[in-house]
Structure 1
């Protein structure tokens, strides 16, 4: 998988066509996943302006700080010119100059800083501002074969960390100590960055986004381990497994873990083109609800993944969008009993032409260490 396959030059042209079709004169993309998707450039986010000016017609321009020009020139993308600005100069005239003709409406990066949004209002008075995701969503939501391969590489790398869990997770060690080892292992497995490490033991496991603490892990406690990172390609990993440390788990936990595993397996098996996101959510939710734990399933069944850790499609009640081949998302039901313990099982799954493909392949049984 070459980097050129992940970031093909044709994306800029396709994005320009989509921009015109959406009734926008340009997209203005500051550092983030949309900019990287179109250019391959993993730009620094900071007070100095970096902005891809993508007109609906005409030559795209990447405006960058002069001290970051070498990095911009080293990016794998093509089909745009680079214009730089020195410290102390106003970069917004460069943005305006890169826009041919009158500007009636522009699409802004979804996470553009408010500082920059307000500066653009001064630079482009009268131009309506919309979200660039209105244009780029349909391009990004279905992954190309090269993107699926990048996500599979990320999945294999995070699986390799889960397979080593017995080296670090044991009673008496604190969640934070285990998390430090996991962070090092995530990098050693090939990730360029560690995005998150959740080690949630005993009652902390009942909080889906607990993080870590200095609490020691107890004998026989369930431990939720949710880890993920960014690969050099820019694509992300995300996988959760639940372990039991140093002794038998509580009987009630073993019982509801079996329910959770059935729900997760049923939802993975239900992935197919045409199934709606909310129907897939219901598959997992119905199994858990029928066993009496519906109120303990606190979150959606899944989220899309790619250059962002969370992106569309969201597998959640109220999302009627049908799945399509190339969509990649997590399937991660959970059961959380406040004050006692919790469990989650998460795989990344890609919708194929006739079903779904798990990109995480480690066992989902309850693992005793």
Structure 2
């Protein structure tokens, strides 16, 4: 857990309160998860007991925690904020406690997007006259533009996951199962400095045609192309995500042609990032190139997603999105080509939009890596 004041600055709650007011919300109620960590630095455990940051639009915020969790909250970065931390006893009703501390006449409250349904319904009962809305609609505008400290944290995460890809030859070879390789990769993700492993995709041969294939007991065969998509969360709370492609022995000619098209598309997209373009325009750069080479029907997902304290967050790089890219936005660029029953390929880098263009945080080679 980090106490870096630059990564979790004290003014975030104030900015969130202003965003709530601008969105017509009387208060934000934020339970454990990325929004709470973003606002306070507190990585609270998601428990059946209520932990909740209460941020009224026009009065002092406070943090409600189970009494047994208050010591952990106080030693977290939240303890360094000018924030009242209220512990509730096992026999208390924490939802009534929150309602009693808020100004009367609450009409519209924003609940964080990942709040458990049982807590949403309990707050509905505690505020029977209030409309419930998504806090994420107000908070997304804050989280979508990363500070310099956040970009440094994402760069640290990218460097760590790059180190795992550079070592892939130690584990990925014919005769091993995807599951065996995946376990070694997961151990290496922790070894590279991550606090947790979020996902490991080792999709060999025909499994590579499924973008989110789970590791299986399939034995990797000579000549198999293999998609390796891996990511984790660093102690800072910020995430990594990178996909590279390998082949165990000589790859099929058809695969090499498709891979060349994919590499050209992903390179063109990462080189084209510039503030002022829309997410849809960036998506189209790669999609049009892939379609022009006859693989349009095999690029079956969006180009990318934002990344930060969540692996997937705003902005989404997808057709139809008029979201304008701005400096500080961080997102994946990951076009793919998937040939059903045969194989697939995806190349993924995390890119940060800067004042002058795009900066790739993942810097390992994007070329197909052939392993003996």
Q: TM-score range by the shorter chain?
A: over 0.9
**Equivalent position SS for 2:190:** helix
Task: Supply the distance in 2 between the matched residues of 1:345 and 1:37 (Cα, whole angstroms).
Answer: 29
Gapped regions of structure 2 (runs ≥ 5): none
Partner of 2:295: 293
Partner of 1:186: 189
Task: Supply the distance in 2 between the matched residues of 1:88 and 1:155 (Cα, whole angstroms).
Answer: 45
Task: Supply the distance in 2 between the matched residues of 1:213 and 1:89 (Cα, whole angstroms).
Answer: 47
Q: Deviations over 1:94-136 (max 9, x none)?
A: 2112312321111110111111111111101111111101211
Partner of 2:200: 197
Partner of 1:356: 358
Partner of 1:239: 242
Task: Supply the distance in 1 between the matched residues of 2:251 and 2:92 (Cα, whole angstroms).
Answer: 63
- Where does 1:94-109 land on structure 2 (aligned, <5 Å)? 94-109=97-112
The answer to whether the aligner puts 1:61 opposite 2:41 as a matched pair is: no
Partner of 1:322: 324
Partner of 1:34: 35
Q: Is the 8 A contact 2:3 2:77 kept in 1?
A: no
Give the number of aligned pairs: 368
Q: Is the 8 A contact 1:61 1:98 kept in 2?
A: no
Task: Supply the distance in 2 between the matched residues of 1:86 and 1:164 (Cα, whole angstroms).
Answer: 50
**Equivalent position SS for 1:350:** strand
The range that moved more, 272-281 or 13-22, is 13-22
The answer to whether the aligner puts 1:124 opposite 2:97 as a matched pair is: no
Task: Supply the distance in 1 between the matched residues of 2:271 and 2:15 (Cα, whole angstroms).
Answer: 34
Gapped regions of structure 1 (runs ≥ 5): none
Q: Is the 8 A contact 2:3 2:41 kept in 1?
A: no
- Where does 1:1-369 land on structure 2 (aligned, <5 Å)? 3-77=4-78, 78-245=81-248, 247-369=249-371
Q: Is the 8 A contact 1:16 1:55 kept in 2?
A: yes
Q: Is the 8 A contact 1:60 1:79 kept in 2?
A: no
Task: Supply the distance in 2 between the matched residues of 1:348 and 1:165 (Cα, whole angstroms).
Answer: 19
Report the TM-score, using the length of structure 1 for normalisation: 0.98
Q: How far did residue 87 of structure 1 move?
A: 2.4
Q: How large is the Cα RMSD of the aligned pairs?
A: 1.0
Q: Is the 8 A contact 1:281 1:317 kept in 2?
A: yes
Task: Supply the distance in 1 between the matched residues of 2:64 and 2:128 (Cα, whole angstroms).
Answer: 20
Q: Is the 8 A contact 2:53 2:64 kept in 1?
A: yes
Q: Is the 8 A contact 1:143 1:327 kept in 2?
A: yes
Q: Is the 8 A contact 1:12 1:79 kept in 2?
A: no
Task: Supply the distance in 2 between the matched residues of 1:111 and 1:10 (Cα, whole angstroms).
Answer: 23
